[in-house]
Amino acid sequence: MTQILIIYHSQAGHTEAMAQRVARGAESIDGVQIVLKKAGEATLQDLLECDGLAIGSPEYFGYMAGMIKDFFDRTYEPARKDRRIFKKPYVVFISAGNDGSGALNQIERICLGYPLKKIYQPVVAKGELDEDTLKKCEDLGKTIAAGCEAGIY
């Protein structure tokens, strides 16, 4: 069974709502199992076992959430030594009070270092969430799940 890991950090609930919609989209694909975890609870084993990764972060001070950075910090060295993560597909979703570019740039930069493979344009919610943004999150989940399940990525 194809496994999609969705990690996120949320304090106000916006990024969590986005993560839930990414999960809903991914779950709609037959043969796909979802692992939805807060970044502080996600482990190296979660990363190694998944077929695709969705990363969700609020933007704080023009940067990703510290817990997302913590996940990367905890997993980088051992993951780098384990070739199972090489070019693993990933997508990003961000809840931003500003434009989200700082958080997105930092996440993408780190993902290059693993290296992971970006497979779809990120969803960046600027300000309050609306149904259009949440639908984009659902589509993001469907895209990574369907591509991983079909072996495209």
Residue 122 phi/psi, 5-degree rounding, is -70, 160
Question: What's the rounded Cα separation, in Å, for the pair 32 and 10?
Answer: 24
Angle between helix 66-81 and helix 101-113 axes, rounded to 10 deg: 10
Rounded Cα distance between 5 and 26, Å, is 10
Global pTM reads: 0.96
Is the confidence at residue 64, as pLDDT, over 90?
A: yes
Residue 86 pLDDT > 90, yes or no?
no
**119-133 mean pLDDT:** 95
Q: Please, which pLDDT band fits residue 83 given cuts at 50, 70 and 90?
A: confident
Tokens describing residue 1: 């069974």
CA–CA gap between residue 117 and residue 10 (Å, rounded): 24
Half-sphere exposure of 93 (CA within 13 A, CB side): 30
Q: Please give the share of the chain, as a percent, with pLDDT higher than 70.
A: 100
Q: What is the pLDDT of residue 151?
A: 95
Res 14 pLDDT > 90: yes
* Class of domain 2-150 (CATH, top level): alpha beta
The whole-number pLDDT of residue 130 equals 96
Q: What is the mean pLDDT of residues 23-36?
A: 98
